[in-house]
Each structure stands twice: as structure tokens, then as C-alpha cells.
Structure 1
Amino acid sequence: MIDLTKDGDLWTVTLNRPDKANALTEAMLEKLVDIAQDASAARCLVLTGAGRVFSAGADLDAARAGLATSDLWERLSSAIADLPCLTISALNGSLAGGAFGMALACDLRICARHARFFYPVMKLGFLPQPSDPQRLRDLIGPARTKMILMGGEKIDADTALAWGLVDRVVPQDQLRGTVDELSADTLSASPTHATAIKAMI
């Protein structure tokens, strides 16, 4: 349910559970954490999903069994945020709930035009993962963060772009090409050069 492909120094991780809207189980999160911890060997790490939804967040049965409050979410986003390589979320569709964390931790976010964004922690009675509100606030500001986390606001791709939540909106069939475009300079540079620039930023 988690696929990893390596094209030289470009690693692509695909959430591959499209029949369940790529909802994440404990085993899937553990696999993602392992990959993220190993990805310092990559020059660029891309996160994407199969089908027309990036991820609906936690699998509901697993969430009720305790996954919603697991530290795996925070371990995953921290591992991604700490990577020295370029990280890109290629959001093939909607992003919801706990799945926000991995996308917020990436350097760049691009999304398909039909994508929608929502994080219904207020309605579900869970707290967001600790770093998610801060990363979301840094991207879109405190008021808009409260609109999403406290007001239950659901936003479309164009609004996400206008707010700064994503960096580019493209048709779904252009996601791969956009990833290739955005990663080309980093992949062609020396690893130390790319790492140094990311550290400066």
C-alpha cells in the first residue's frame, strides 16, 4: 500500500490504497517513517498518491483504535522536515486530516486542479498533530489556519494557491512533468551545493 520507486536520486513514494481514498493505517505510517528516515540518501523525495485522492487521512477504524493520536504522524512529518534533500508533495487529489502533516513538512506542494483541502479535527474531537498548526500558520497565517482547523473550512485548489498552502496548481496529468521541472536543477547540481542552499533557506 506504500510504493517506493527510485529513479537515480529521485525517490517517489506513492500512497497506493485508492479504493479507500488512500486512508492511512498504522502499517502504512510505519513504512512512510522508515522511508523518510532513509531518504537522506536521495536528492529529491516526492510524495504522491494513486487515484484521484491524495489521502483522506487516518483510516477510520484505525483512528478509533488509537491511530488518530499516535506519535507516528509527528515522527513522519519531523523526518520529512529534517531531510537535507528537496521534498515535494505532488498532491494528485484531496488532502484531509492527519495526511496534512507530511505535505506541510515538504519544501514544495503542487496539486491537481480538482484537489480539496480540509482538516476536520474540531468536528472529530481530536487535536491536530503538534507541528501541523505551526507549519500551516507559517504558510497561510493564523486566521486562515483557524478557519481550517476551528471553522471546518474546506478550500479548493485555487484558494489553496491564493492562500499559499500550495505553490502550483496543474491538471492531474501534468503533476509528473511539474515534479520533473521543479527537481531538475537540484538533481543536476552537486549534492553538497543543493544541501547548502536548502540549509541557507
Structure 2
Amino acid sequence: MAEFLLYEQDGPVVTLTLNEPARRNPLTGNSAVADFLAAIDRIHADRSVRAVIVTGAGTAFSSGGDIKDMERQSSGALGGMQIRQEYRTGIQRLPLALYNLEVPVIAAVNGAAIGAGLDLACMCDIRIASEHAKFAESFVKLGIIPGDGGAWLLPRLIGLSRASELSFTGEVIGAQQAAEWGLVSRVVAAGELMATAKELAGRIAANPPHAVRLTKRLIREAMHTRLDTLLEMAAAFQSLSHQTADHREAVAAFLEKRAPVFHG
């Protein structure tokens, strides 16, 4: 069986590719969660990584939950508490790990991002869509709810009204509507998707890595904390940043009118 999550590194940029195209890259009923957790641990341990791209092989980004795995859960063979534990020790570990990864993550959405597949894209910091991409928070169509954090993630990205519309109807929207709603940053031609994502990752990776990581942490904390608390955190982060070699290099390069060279 082919490896589910391909890990490829080009300099400071890691690309993670969901690699089960025949089944449209599902996130359950396979090793997806374990593979993501292992990849995230590897990225945390490798300080040379400055940006991550997540994409899908084939025509889909991710179809979300595997329908055969849902059949197993609904068969009556499992008790409710057992299913609850499967979620807590399975797919629910993914949003906690990916959302809190210090390195910026770009979702290059090449095709359908459905159910948990849409939620996976929402766990990333930036979303770029191919013109062929489509999105659905489709859990209600199967008589279930967003079990992997979508009810928390989606309203924070597109607002309560639009998130409710997607969640209550389960209907599909296209790439252009996703851009209009702020779900994705931009829509590009299918053949340009990965080049665009890599170019953006390169621009992120060109900055001092400590500043990027701490900026991401501040943005994440700002989504659920008070202003005065965030300012205290910002003061602490800034005191660390002012003492780094990359900050001194940035100031010197600005004053000397030259390009900076950052080492991390």
C-alpha cells in the first residue's frame, strides 16, 4: 500500500501531499491522522523548516471521512462511548496538532475539500484554491455533525452567518465563491497552483523564522484572548525578538541599504 502522506522538503519548505487519490484522499479509515502527527513532530524537530504546504494527489484535496468507516460506526457493533473515544484519540488529534504548528501552513486546495477535508484546509493559515476546487461542510447530508473542529474553525474564517449557511445546508460552493467569502486568499489556474503556493512559501521563508513563528502564535492567541492579555504576550515576544541576531541583521541591512541575510 502506498504511503498516505508524502513528505518532501525543498530547502526551508516542506510539502505534505495526501496520497490516496483512488479514494479521494480520505482522513479516516487509514493512517492519515498518524501520518500527519508524525510529520508535524518531524517539522517541530527540524528548525530549518520555515513554511509548509498541504495539498492532495489526484483530483481531490480531501473527501473527508471514509464512508465505509462511517458504516462501521453506525452498524450498532460499537457503543457510543467507544465511538467518542475513537474521535478523541483519532481525528480530533489532527486539528490540535496542525492548528498549533508554529510554522506557517499553506493549503493548496487542488480539488474537492469536503467535510473533514474542508476542515483540514481551515486548520491551515492560508488557503489558495485551484479553479477546480470546491468546498462543502457536508456533515448534515450524512446525518452527522462536524466532529473534527469545523464548528469552531469555519465561523472564525468566514463569519457566523456564512458558516451556518454552509453547515446547515451541506451544499457545495465553488472556488470563486470561496474567495468572495474569504475562505481562500486567491484562486489560480490549476496548472499554477503549486507554483503559486511554493512562491508564497518562499516569501514567508525569506523572513526571520523566529519573527514568523512568534507572529503566528500571536495571531492564533488573538482569536480567543483579551487585548490586554495579548499585549502582555506581545511585549514578551518582542523582548525576545529584539535580542536576536536576525533582528540586528535586519536593522543593519536597512541602514546600510542592502539585502539582509537571515540565519535563524
CA distance in 2, matches of 1:184, 1:26: 32
CA distance in 1, matches of 2:181, 2:64: 22
Q: How big is the alpha-carbon RMSD for the aligned residues of Structure 1 and Structure 2?
A: 1.8
CA distance in 2, matches of 1:172, 1:153: 23
Higher relative contact order (CA 8 A, sep 6+): 1
Match of 2:54 among 47, 64, 78: 47
CA distance in 1, matches of 2:16, 2:62: 13
Instruction: Say if 2:147 is the partner of 1:132.
Output: no
Larger CA Rg, structure 1 vs 2? 2
CA distance in 1, matches of 2:152, 2:37: 21
Instruction: Say if 2:34 is the partner of 1:27.
Output: no
Match of 2:66 among 59, 62, 71: 59
CA distance in 1, matches of 2:94, 2:117: 10
**Is the CA contact 2:109–2:128 (under 8 Å) kept in the aligned structure 1?**
yes
**Is the CA contact 1:97–1:121 (under 8 Å) kept in the aligned structure 2?**
yes
Identify unmatched segments of 5+ residues in structure 2: 74-82, 220-264
Q: Give 1:130 deviation, angstroms.
A: 5.2
Q: Give 1:167 deviation, angstroms.
A: 0.8
Identify unmatched segments of 5+ residues in structure 1: none
The amino acid across from 1:5 in the alignment is E
Aligned residues: 201
**Is the CA contact 1:36–1:76 (under 8 Å) kept in the aligned structure 2?**
no
Q: Where do residues 18-167 of structure 1 align in structure 2 (5 Å cutoff)?
A: 18-24=21-27, 25-40=29-44, 41=46, 42-66=49-73, 70-71=87-88, 72-129=90-147, 131-167=149-185
CA distance in 2, matches of 1:28, 1:152: 24
1:66-87 per-residue CA deviation (whole Å, 9 max, x = no partner) reads: 4896232221111111111110
- TM-score by length of structure 2 reads 0.71
